[in-house]
Chain A
Amino acid sequence: MQLDAAEPEATGPGPAQPASSPSALRERLSTAALALLLVPAAAGAETATNQIDFSTLYYGEQDRTQVFEPIVRATRLFGDGQAISAQLGLDVITGSSPSGALPSGTVQTMTTPSGRLVTVPAGQIPLTKFEDHRAGLDVDWRKPWGSLVTTTVGGHASREKDYQSLGVNAKVSADFDQHLFTVSAGGAFNDDSVFPVGGTPIGLSDGSEVTKGSNSKRVKSVLFGISHVMTRRWIVSVDGTRTYENGYLTEPYKVISVVSPFNGLPVYTLTDNRPSSRTRSSALLSSVYHLANDILCTSYRYYTDTWDVRSNTFDVKYRHDLAEGWYLEPHVRYYRQTAASFYTIGLSTILRPPEYATADYRLGRLTTLTLGANLGFRIGDRPSQWTLRAEYIRQKGDTAGGDQNGVQSHFDLTPTINTFTAVLGYSFNF
């Protein structure tokens, strides 16, 4: 069935002169082939590549906590798609954080985690000074199974002076409909221990009575996600997470001021006391849109828990490529949360304390605005990537859940906290 009617005649052998005057096309082609094939044969024979990422985070709250966190992560990618990575992180945390107590017009004294006494100048928010070091190791292993399914399993261990965390996690992802849909499901389990310096204070007591030994905290979480390629430029995903926490969830160093209803002055303090279980749920809707050159990532997250904290988060990132290895990615995030049901700014000397109470500003009504940018850049010829991320975070609490009576009304009990974060990262393959 030869439709072109021509005999299978060979036009050739063509002129076999060894490249007497090769065409421009052939010249370019052989240069390109040479560039490709002249790579040392041994280099091509390797079946795995390695990637090393370094990063150093600096986090500073104005006049409060400072965190310095160097991280090194090594990843080995195997030819068959498996990947194993290990990450070692160290945190050095110094500074002070509000103890929860209220400022007074006169000098107050507090006990501290180490049992020493601090004196707080009048009118200032009492802070607890601390210095802590944390070391953590994370490992994970990703493995594809056939063409559609990928599993990831991981482990985690970290330790600091008064806290230890051990965890395992696993996740399965499967692709459907010509890889247009990806469905993932996973779970994690953490077995943590809290062993406060100087013992664990009894909740809502004056803190003088402590129990020795460590307190257990168990965290189980499940997650489910779907991602869908909508168009060739647009991908949308929905993720749901539920986390169950059980055990010691109290902050042992936080206290609540008990205030005289007559003059508003703090009379004494009681320790923080929180329920021993908390169920958290969150839903995340995110979208990645690829413009001609730039990428727009937007997300919305709704969170709620059984302590009545509800939050909404809006996040927008826009990546703009500048040149080879250079990009700029501005970032804006808005976060707003409601206060936990047992949050209070202070208790009253004439009322019986409730079952649970905290004055920890992180469980109060809170609005956070983050403005930042990520700059990717390249130095030298080595195919490596530098990144510098800087973020300014403005956090404003609000005194819902407590009366500012008497003297307390002269002080801003939830001042705006300005935080600056910088992360310098460097990664390369070999």
Chain B
Amino acid sequence: MGRALVRVEDYFAGRFEAMAGPCVVLIDGDDRAEAAALVETAAGEALRVERKFSRYRTDNLVHAINHAAGRPVEVDAETANLLDYAATCWEISGGLFDITSGVLRRVWSFDGSSRVPSQEAIEECRGHVGWERVTWRERTLTMPAGMEIDLGGLGKEYAVDRAAALIAARTSTPFLVNFGGDVFAAGPRRGGRTWAVGIDDPERTGEAALYRLDVARAGLATSGDARRFVTRYGRRLGHILDPRTGWPVAGAPRSVTVVAPTCLEAGTIATLACLQGPGARDFLKEQKVQFWVF
């Protein structure tokens, strides 16, 4: 199945849909066949990671884990590595970053309305949240029935870095991978030039870039609530939930963009920053990364 591949100036741009969003791969070369093959590689990897880790499917290991009803589930090496990474994130964030907190979305629907769930409903849900209740040993995950894991917060960034590694293994041509706004630029481009990445205006997402960042080689990711929020007493509550309270993090930035050596780190730092609420900026300064906060 061919992907849309167009020649833009002196590079190729291949587009496809994956992970609930538009994906684009830029190839800084002149060989159309090679470019098409590299775009195919990226698309294949995006779909693979999506299939394997999406919690919306019933045919993968994540579904098996989420429906194990208390029984231990043995996972493969790749899933184990992702869970190890998630466990580290949970640890270093003091429990703020928690892949089991997705259960809270059963009561919170971030559709821009003013529907806020009852405290009882939140409390009921919070009973099913908390990585500390999970037994994660080597390759076996045992989770009380009713709990769920959601690797959606890591999956897209992970897929970007994975796809980039696969392309890099096949070619020395400079390229850039962008899956729904999470980016890895593998450069510098031919002639020592950089890739120009626009940073979205969270108020007018998809319409205009507020800033332009020129990068040779870096991972970029944005975390925020551009379109997913509810309002309460006229106040906007973003979609980033604090697993300790079950409520959206108050005073969180609308959007945080981070540049880091890999897309995964950029995404994690951006998410951790949002979880700090009003402390996001200070947190980011401490991390000594290039960032934008809106």
Contacts and interface: CB of A to CB of B under 8 A. Distances in A.
Given A26-B288, A49-B76, A80 B89 contact: no
A144 B58 contact: yes
Interface in A4-31: 4, 8-17, 19-23, 25-26, 28-30
Interface string A108-151: 00000000000000000000000000000000000010111010
B52 interface: yes
B70 interface: yes
Contacts of B137: 321, 324-325
Contacts of A147: 56-58
Interface stretch (A195-203, A230-238, A265-273): A230-238
Nearest to B78: A44
B294 A8 contact: yes
B99 interface: no
Interface string A18-51: 0111110110111011011101011111010100
B73 interface: no
A370 interface: no
A17 B76 contact: no
A263 interface: no
A3 B286 CA distance: 27
B76 A37 contact: no
B139 interface: yes
A232 B234 contact: no
Interface in B50-74: 51-52, 56-60, 63, 66-67, 69-71, 74
Interface string B88-116: 11001000000000000000000000000
Interface stretch (A58-66, A215-223, A288-296): A288-296
B286 to A, nearest CB: 5
A218 to B, nearest CB: 35
B213 interface: yes
Contacts of A79: 48, 51-52, 60
B227 interface: no
Which of A80, A146, A232, A429 lies at the interface centre, i.e. has the most chain B CB atoms within 10 A of its CB?
Answer: A232
Contacts of A150: 58
Given A13-B213, A26-B269, A20 B287 contact: no
Interface string B122-158: 0000011000000101111010111100000000001
Contacts of A312: none
Contacts of A47: 48, 52
Contacts of A29: 88-89, 92, 265, 268-269
Interface residues of A, number: 65
A232 B128 contact: yes
Nearest to A2: B203
Nearest to A289: B70
Contacts of B165: 37, 41, 44
A406 interface: no
B84 A36 contact: yes
B76 A429 contact: yes
B169 to A, nearest CB: 5
Which of B138, B146, B166 lies at the interface centre, i.e. has the most chain A CB atoms within 10 A of its CB?
Answer: B146
A325 to B, nearest CB: 6
A33 B288 CA distance: 17
A132 B126 CA distance: 59
Contact of A17 (B45, B135, B272, B288): B288
A229 interface: yes
A344 to B, nearest CB: 46
Contact of A234 (B145, B259, B260, B288): B145
Contacts of A21: 288
Given A23-B286, A36-B84, A229 B265 contact: no
Interface in A282-326: 288-290, 293, 295, 321, 324-325
B288 A36 contact: no
B290 interface: yes
A410 interface: no
Contact of A231 (B146, B213, B287, B293): B146
A20 to B, nearest CB: 7
Given A13-B290, A41-B169, A150-B58, A232 B285 contact: no
A402 interface: no
B63 A12 contact: no
Given A37-B161, A37-B162, A47-B48, A28 B88 contact: yes
B203 A42 contact: no
Contact of A43 (B77, B138, B234): B77
Interface in B236-294: 236, 251, 254, 259-262, 264-265, 268-269, 272, 281, 284-294
Given A22-B287, A35-B81, A231-B146, A10 B292 contact: yes
Nearest to A384: B139
A179 B57 CA distance: 12
B264 A33 contact: yes
Contacts of A233: 70, 144-146
Contacts of A353: none
Given A41-B162, A290-B70, A232 B127 contact: yes
B82 interface: yes
A45 B127 CA distance: 36
A232 B48 contact: no
B277 to A, nearest CB: 12
Nearest to B157: A33
Given A29-B88, A32-B85, A11 B78 contact: no
7 contacts: A23-B287, A36-B85, A80-B59, A148-B58, A235-B70, A321-B135, A383-B80
Given A15-B290, A81-B60, A288-B70, 17 more contacts: A8-B202, A8-B294, A10-B210, A10-B293, A13-B213, A25-B286, A25-B287, A30-B260, A33-B161, A35-B81, A39-B77, A81-B57, A229-B146, A233-B144, A234-B70, A324-B137, A383-B138
